[in-house]
Structure 1
């Protein structure tokens, strides 16, 4: 075990080595480290790690996903901390190196001091333990196991906090405790222990009325939320206070007009928004009347926020809080007109009917006159648009106006605008617990699932919570399962009197016809979000017009815009849109768009087309002028393209499924998105086989075999490619035949670079020449270069590479150029022409970066590390060597990884660092033995021997 590592779990996961803060990497990697840290010095099997870290979304590769994460953790943690045993992995760490262990030790010390009567020491130890919490334990880390641990540690902290407060009460620190306890009671009104402690602190500080008020409020919350009376401990404290205090006189208060409706007992998760509204309204010495506009989708809690804020503003507006529902979205009612609203508001101020003018402008002028100089707050709820609001605005800076609407009121000159979003997950669970009671929401996993199915929308959570609360036989797990069925989720969250669907329907009905049409069409959206070109294809309009319509739906809070140009639904709104009747042909238009757009992006990336589509495109497409344009589109749209392939395959649109799978798979490969590539090709293959198209099946098998070679090895690749060859129709075009033969020959060469493999590649070269396609001829020559290089015949390899490069440059096939330049660089290194090698590899690096080709850059950086080593440029050699290894580990390509490990190991050994070189040689040898790469086996074994000799 080592004392060099320190880990903090009682807040965001942090790690230190010595005095240096560690970068713990991606969230999933942090989750794995946290699991190991929660069970220090214990062996955890790979299967257990997969279950504990990925339990909510287990990877298709199973336990194979664990070693790369372990490798990365070993690289950043001190040596010897993370070890592998026969059964699994263990984090060997000193007992006091984890803050959780220090916390428990301090708590035990505090208990011992308390039992011995040393109260000051006991309180000090518990305070020291609580100070170790820096936030929510394990915050931001996903997974059911860590979520449960987070809940356990939070409850543990609260228990110790209550013990420390009990000690402070025993030590007579009553006044000091009040502010802390007020905050704790406000945070959770149902925790009777803290309420009782606050009552004692108030009482013993001479503030009996506040102590009794605390009991009354707590009792109200318990009855309202849980339907139970306070427990015996809290009642006993209440009785003690009553028996010892005389009844205080009631202070009469001046009656004011307060029309605010009941805002509900359950109000959580809006503290920041509430403070923002209160601050905007509470500004003193105002010269302009404050107007706060709150907008958001139906059911997000706009009215509750406005009313809660208005109640908190009673001191700023002591002459009255007026409230009027304008019924902008009330079923069965016309919106209240400005004339009607002013009549109601003036009568509220006791203006006689005969003084209220009939004319709108005169009525508005009287309203402003009546409010002049008075300190009144007006809440205008549920406004339909800005036009209905403007006549109702008071002019006096002593007044204030709060407006809520489902639309962004762009025509309203508001001093503060607040777009209300759905609740954060923790707040959503807290709201559910307030509605159904802490006991019934005690299962954190089921509670999280319920609020997730509700889209964290307060209205949906209230409907779901109400159903559970009024059905004693139901459990929260049962409710979660009912909501899990998407086809009936909206029905579960709606009632005869309202709920989610009726609320959404009212928002939809108030849209103009063109916006209604696009909203319906978006219900068939295949991906998670959409951009204007895809929306234009759906609606058969110009992309500029489509973007305008999308923006208008955002203004109506029926669509979200998380970043410019990208639009998506709230989950429940998407389901509601899906219930509306879409037009025939809408899905077909969307499939056409993604197929043609992906094909154009691919053509820009690779400077060639894998297969032709009927032209012209049936829908408007983005313009891809450079490879960077195509890659940027794939980076953003790739997930939507894959979702579209799933929809196409599931719906029987086989032509779209296999063509789209082919078009995007090479793009995914270029970006090292291997799992997405494999799924796209698997779906494409399924579609070709169902469609009975041997030519298409051969094309898909070719891509599976070629693109999967570096991940699954040459033998499995060869088997797939031979299937592709067997499926070739007799009249298959020569380019396809050449591509299949070339890939077969290359896989054969990677197994054994013998004469048989060269013969197949020579045949592929002849067929490519017959086809007249110089691009495929260039690629075959590149394969021959690799094969001669594996035979250590570097002059012949260099000649083949140079021919390949000339052809690739003639047809401007830049994807081949980067790979061939890598091969040229390797050959020049082997021929000891180092300066020329650096020139070729630097050009390959520029091409790889320009085209975003992570795979080609893996080899570029690896070869450059050798070249810089030969020159004695150690800093540069180590930098590019480590870049190569990082890309290789992310790519999940065993061949790339072994080459990167080998080159970096050779650099480290040449620099005189055999200790650091040894594990890289060992890993390269392990991978090469699995794949049968004889040249790598020889070099890695020789390297290991040299590291032993040097040591």
Structure 2
């Protein structure tokens, strides 16, 4: 059975039920609970409880005082934890529910590891055991029994602490132990064991005079206070120092404690260990780089420990303080002085000149098997003089920068943890019970960006706040504006770590870092970065690469740069003006999107201010335009949302129009709708607009949306656009609106009203001399005549439109016009000519990535192939047309593709496969009200019935 109670005795008495802290009542009630906890799962009689709890003030009522106290205790604790039997009372606890039990388990594990010769593991377990203490055990609780237990547990802690210090001495950690031991000896100079350990630490660190001074000071204290001489333990150490017997162990191990939680780095650990295997060809040098808090030092130390059997003469460690708050980096000369002293070189032998000092260092290492860990290096130049020369040695360097100037034999770029390993780290820190809610735990590590430092800070906060749950922590971290504060502490954490990296940047790098923090795009390339920083793209690219070298930006794909989420938030917190940055980026995206659209469609689709503020990339071919949109479409939409939120209305409607045509072309309807919705809202708010901007957006809403929502639905925004356009408004815009209205009306009903709209549009196009617009209007007239089954008139209009399009150099309209010509030729039974024209249309459609025109080319080709009896090709292109139509979300495209596929299958003699396509085509045609298609689909179904 599991009991829902945890207690801590190794400090002030505390208790939790699940993740909730308990109010344990007044002092005497806590004393009763502490006694029961010390005898957990044992029966304690009422008389014993009186003696153990009330020994300092025995009650006159005797054992009768116990039941009411037990009753009050039960009210404070989870149900059924305190039980009463015939012989007394018992507190039911799980083995892991008491910190004292956990302490003893860890001590036993540490002592067992020490017996097996696993000194690193033994030290780690004893350190974990000591970490269970959070102050004086049972502090503040009255009673003789608890006072005895308090003294016992304090002595037990000091004994285990001495064992752990002995282990560190055996592991060559002498220099690191000195500060800790100085404090212990100052607190209790009569405890000879700590005094002796301090003497050994001084002695083995080459500080014999301070070791002897410690002995003299402790001896005086013993004589003055107790009247006794030091014991044999201290005297033996004193004599060994006087006789200079083996002042340090043969093997140096300067590696720091690397913690008990190391997860998710097995692949990188294997790479480092393999790369550091000594070779006869040269010195192995491994460089580990990564952003602040990613776990570089932990990986380096764990790898160095894994290599203990390879580097049998020692593992040396020095922090070069490249990124340490309030400290300058350690100069190479000072680092060499420390390292040489570690090897036992006396000060008088260490030369002052840096080159001579480096030569002595290499000489001392010659022939030895020593691994040198150079942690927190500021750059490669600081590391060069510290490299060994002997191939039997190894060097492991960590830095926040990519040490490109260092001639490393292997490099490991450390990334954040994967989500599963991140959750494992959190669980290891707070325990499986606290991290039991997997969804909340996944959210916490996600908010931490899977960065080990952030997860450790979050885990520490949760572990030291027993009243918190992982759900509560998740909700706190979910507030983006306070996330960095939640993951930072007075002594460190995420923001201070990032600040150190930022401070090492040049002024130009710092400015770009701050500006990019205001960019809401997922990633950024040099042209966009140049726009926000107002520099040339080559300069921006150089700065971006330097930020990558400093591990403050990621380059996940060549030429595409992005932030880690927490670094983005830190950059935003540095206070660069958001509106100015967003305006510059939006202007760049507007002009680049317009250039991309012109490349894709062969003509400019939107009117934009000129010139662009920033340099634009070269966008000459349709492939260039589509590639730019594929890379930047999501980023443009994110920027569009930001301009809208900041109230930049003109930028929003212009940018929304510019990118919507790309989304239309790539059949990304949801993104197209969002861009147009934002654009329309901004146009209606723009105080500088007289209705013309709104008309432009409504034209796109109606024209681009027609393929998804149908012709009848599209008439409303188009009519509204014509109403909003001022009488003195742009004539080209009026012509485009009339053309769109005529074409859309023709799709509802190819009547005389549709032709009147189109004829008026044609007159406007000719009046302004716009051949491109004229060619499009003629194409729409061709469509209308085709829907009226007037194929000779349709063909004449299409051919006039094609001639004008070629004259105007409007490549964008040509695939559509060729499709129309091909359809007319099919209907006029000029199949060979149709096949040639439609093949050209398909080629242009593929080149331009024009999904909608390509759908029609393929659909019409299926009819042309079937007329020639080329059934395999006919079915292939018809099914490809249907696949593209379904991907596009266009009902009109689906209607045409299904009808052509059904007709091909029926002509092939497969009415059963043709029938469902005719049925779907008929449903779509009825929804759209297209009488000619309704008739064709109905006739096809009738033919299927006759063939069955």
* Alignment check: 8 A CA contact 1:779 1:804 kept: yes
**Matches of 1:785 and 1:227, distance apart in 2:** 87
Partner of 1:900: 897
**Matches of 1:223 and 1:873, distance apart in 2:** 81
* Alignment check: 8 A CA contact 2:287 2:411 kept: yes
**1:879 to partner: Cα distance:** 1.5
Secondary structure of 1:380's counterpart equals strand
**Matches of 1:689 and 1:568, distance apart in 2:** 34
Give RMSD over aligned pairs.
2.7
Secondary structure of 1:383's counterpart equals coil
**1:922 to partner: Cα distance:** 2.5
Partner of 2:291: 297
Partner of 1:688: 683
Change (3 A) 1:294 1:628: same
**Matches of 1:548 and 1:889, distance apart in 2:** 44
1:734-792, Cα deviation, whole Å (9 max, x unpaired): 11111111111111111111112212221221222222212111111111111111111
**Matches of 1:342 and 1:923, distance apart in 2:** 81
**1:870 to partner: Cα distance:** 0.9
**Matches of 2:277 and 2:808, distance apart in 1:** 70
Change (3 A) 1:706 1:220: farther
**Matches of 2:772 and 2:612, distance apart in 1:** 25
* Alignment check: 8 A CA contact 1:558 1:569 kept: yes
**1:676 to partner: Cα distance:** 1.1
**1:346 to partner: Cα distance:** 0.7
Secondary structure of 1:377's counterpart equals strand
**1:903 to partner: Cα distance:** 1.2
Which segments of 5 or more consecutive residues in structure 1 lack a partner in the other structure? 1-191, 229-249
Partner of 1:823: 820
Change (3 A) 1:412 1:759: same
1:526-560, Cα deviation, whole Å (9 max, x unpaired): 31111111111222211111111111111111111
Q: Which shows bigger deviation, 867-876 or 589-598?
A: 589-598
Change (3 A) 1:410 1:777: same
**Matches of 1:637 and 1:227, distance apart in 2:** 55
1:824-881, Cα deviation, whole Å (9 max, x unpaired): 1111111111111111111111111111111110111111111111111112112211
Partner of 2:769: 772
Change (3 A) 1:369 1:212: closer
Change (3 A) 1:895 1:217: farther
Partner of 1:563: 557
Partner of 2:393: 399
> Is residue 2:567 matched to residue 1:573?
yes
**1:939 to partner: Cα distance:** 2.5
Partner of 2:363: 369
| Bigger radius of gyration among the two | 2
> Is residue 2:864 matched to residue 1:867?
yes
**Matches of 1:294 and 1:613, distance apart in 2:** 48
Partner of 1:725: 722
With normalisation by structure 2, the TM-score equals 0.74
1:849-888 matches, within 5 Å, as: 849-888=846-885
**1:733 to partner: Cα distance:** 1.9
Partner of 2:631: 636
Change (3 A) 1:909 1:439: farther
Change (3 A) 1:227 1:686: farther
> Is residue 2:755 matched to residue 1:758?
yes
**1:882 to partner: Cα distance:** 1.5
> Is residue 2:263 matched to residue 1:268?
yes
Partner of 2:163: none
Counterpart of 2:499 (choices 477, 501, 505) is 505
**1:818 to partner: Cα distance:** 0.7
* Alignment check: 8 A CA contact 2:605 2:661 kept: no
* Alignment check: 8 A CA contact 1:224 1:265 kept: no
Partner of 1:466: 460
1:572-591, Cα deviation, whole Å (9 max, x unpaired): 11111111132684333222
Partner of 1:63: none
Partner of 2:156: none
* Alignment check: 8 A CA contact 1:225 1:435 kept: no
Partner of 1:106: none
Secondary structure of 2:813's counterpart equals helix
* Alignment check: 8 A CA contact 1:226 1:436 kept: no
1:371-770 matches, within 5 Å, as: 371-582=365-576, 585-692=580-687, 693=689, 694-770=691-767
Secondary structure of 1:814's counterpart equals coil
* Alignment check: 8 A CA contact 1:379 1:402 kept: yes
1:917-939, Cα deviation, whole Å (9 max, x unpaired): 23222322232233223333332
**Matches of 1:593 and 1:263, distance apart in 2:** 48
**Matches of 1:559 and 1:898, distance apart in 2:** 48
* Alignment check: 8 A CA contact 2:255 2:317 kept: yes
**Matches of 1:221 and 1:799, distance apart in 2:** 91
> Is residue 2:808 matched to residue 1:811?
yes
**1:217 to partner: Cα distance:** 11
Q: Which shows bigger deviation, 502-511 or 787-796?
A: 787-796
> Is residue 2:785 matched to residue 1:785?
no
* Alignment check: 8 A CA contact 2:679 2:697 kept: yes
**1:255 to partner: Cα distance:** 6.0
**Matches of 2:799 and 2:362, distance apart in 1:** 85
* Alignment check: 8 A CA contact 2:365 2:390 kept: yes
Partner of 1:243: none
1:41-62, Cα deviation, whole Å (9 max, x unpaired): xxxxxxxxxxxxxxxxxxxxxx
1:714-742, Cα deviation, whole Å (9 max, x unpaired): 11100111111110101012111111111
1:144-184, Cα deviation, whole Å (9 max, x unpaired): xxxxxxxxxxxxxxxxxxxxxxxxxxxxxxxxxxxxxxxxx
**Matches of 2:449 and 2:121, distance apart in 1:** 35
**Matches of 1:656 and 1:226, distance apart in 2:** 59
* Alignment check: 8 A CA contact 1:898 1:927 kept: yes
Change (3 A) 1:946 1:559: same
**Matches of 2:697 and 2:786, distance apart in 1:** 29
Counterpart of 2:342 (choices 342, 348, 371) is 348
Secondary structure of 2:866's counterpart equals helix
**Matches of 2:123 and 2:939, distance apart in 1:** 78
**Matches of 1:938 and 1:795, distance apart in 2:** 20
* Alignment check: 8 A CA contact 2:708 2:889 kept: yes
Change (3 A) 1:227 1:799: farther
Secondary structure of 1:525's counterpart equals coil
